[in-house]
Amino acid sequence: DRWVRAYGKTVLGVALWLQGDAQRAAALERESLRFQHSIDDLRGYRFNIEVLAWIAAGQGQHRRAATLLGFLRRYEQGIHMLPFRYKLVIRQHGECESRAREALGKPAFEAAFSRGAGLSYDEGIALALGETDPANEPPGEEASWSPLTRRETEIARLVAQGMSNKEIAAALVIAQRTAEGHVEHILNKLGFNSRTQIAVWAKERDTRA
């Protein structure tokens, strides 16, 4: 049954997100969202959007997260209307909103939230699916915030310099396996699947800083 599989992807997406695999989590939530939207399962696809907001905030895309939260609230489908009201879900929602609010500041958060509240159904779905991005971060904003730790940011910069894991390990005097683990964490946190993407991210961040 496609409906059961869609909900299975939703739950698996949450599990992967909690394990730090943002890329696979987002892919599953979007797959589920497309199906839930096609059969007009309102609670189902709105929960997908809720999880995608968590992922966006976790990746430093705070304006996107705030806009998605605003879209959900517009249609009275915020946290209190979700199909799963476990403590975990409520906590993740609160952390998502707090993280976005703290990173953006009150005026910018409220502006993004209001922008989301003004989106049509189709616009909100398109934003959640990554097909449009009215919440895209303009250059220079949030340059001081990063989803990475200080060590991970340092390693991302070394990746941007073209260094291999072995070279990074030697430069930082750490085990190669440790360096490999850091790179894997960076890929997961940023939702990337290649070192080239890390390099581009690190260079753009340094340019904005």
pLDDT digits (tens, 9 = 90+) for 85-113: 567 777 888 899 998 988 888 888 888 88
* Residue 65: predicted pLDDT: 92
**Within this chain, do residues 11 and 61 fall inside the same structural domain, yes or no?**
yes
**Within this chain, do residues 123 and 176 fall inside the same structural domain, yes or no?**
no
**Within this chain, do residues 166 and 102 fall inside the same structural domain, yes or no?**
no
Q: How many domains does the chain have?
A: 2
**Within this chain, do residues 9 and 107 fall inside the same structural domain, yes or no?**
yes
pLDDT digits (tens, 9 = 90+) for 160-209: 999 999 999 999 989 999 999 999 988 887 777 889 988 888 887 776 55
Which of 76, 99, 129 terminates a domain? The answer is: 129
125 located within any domain: yes
55 located within any domain: yes
* Residue 141: predicted pLDDT: 44
What is the per-residue DSSP string for 72-112? HHHTT-SGGG-S---HHHHHHHHHHHHHHHHHH-HHHHHHH
**Within this chain, do residues 36 and 103 fall inside the same structural domain, yes or no?**
yes
**Within this chain, do residues 76 and 124 fall inside the same structural domain, yes or no?**
yes
* Calpha distance 135→62 (Å, rounded): 9
**Within this chain, do residues 34 and 113 fall inside the same structural domain, yes or no?**
yes
Q: Quick one: tokens of 126?
A: 């398109």
pLDDT exceeds cutoff 90 at 142? no
Region 150-157 average pLDDT: 88
77 located within any domain: yes
Q: 148-175 burial, b for 16+ CB within 10 Å, e for fewer?
A: beeebebbbbbbbeebebeebbeebeee
31: containing domain: 2-129
Average pLDDT in the chain: 81
Distances (CA, A) of 158 to 111, 138, 182: 36, 25, 12
Region 128-138 average pLDDT: 63
Helices (H), the chain: 2-18, 22-38, 42-58, 62-74, 87-104, 106-117, 121-129, 150-160, 165-172, 176-190, 195-208
103 located within any domain: yes
185 located within any domain: yes
11 located within any domain: yes
**Within this chain, do residues 122 and 156 fall inside the same structural domain, yes or no?**
no
142 located within any domain: no
134 located within any domain: no
**Within this chain, do residues 123 and 84 fall inside the same structural domain, yes or no?**
yes
**What CATH number does residue 185 fall under?**
1.10.10.10
pLDDT digits (tens, 9 = 90+) for 61-81: 888 999 999 888 866 554 444
**Within this chain, do residues 110 and 51 fall inside the same structural domain, yes or no?**
yes
**Within this chain, do residues 34 and 98 fall inside the same structural domain, yes or no?**
yes
**Within this chain, do residues 93 and 157 fall inside the same structural domain, yes or no?**
no
* Residue 40: predicted pLDDT: 76
- Work out the pLDDT band at 146, boundaries 50, 70, 90: low
* Calpha distance 101→105 (Å, rounded): 5
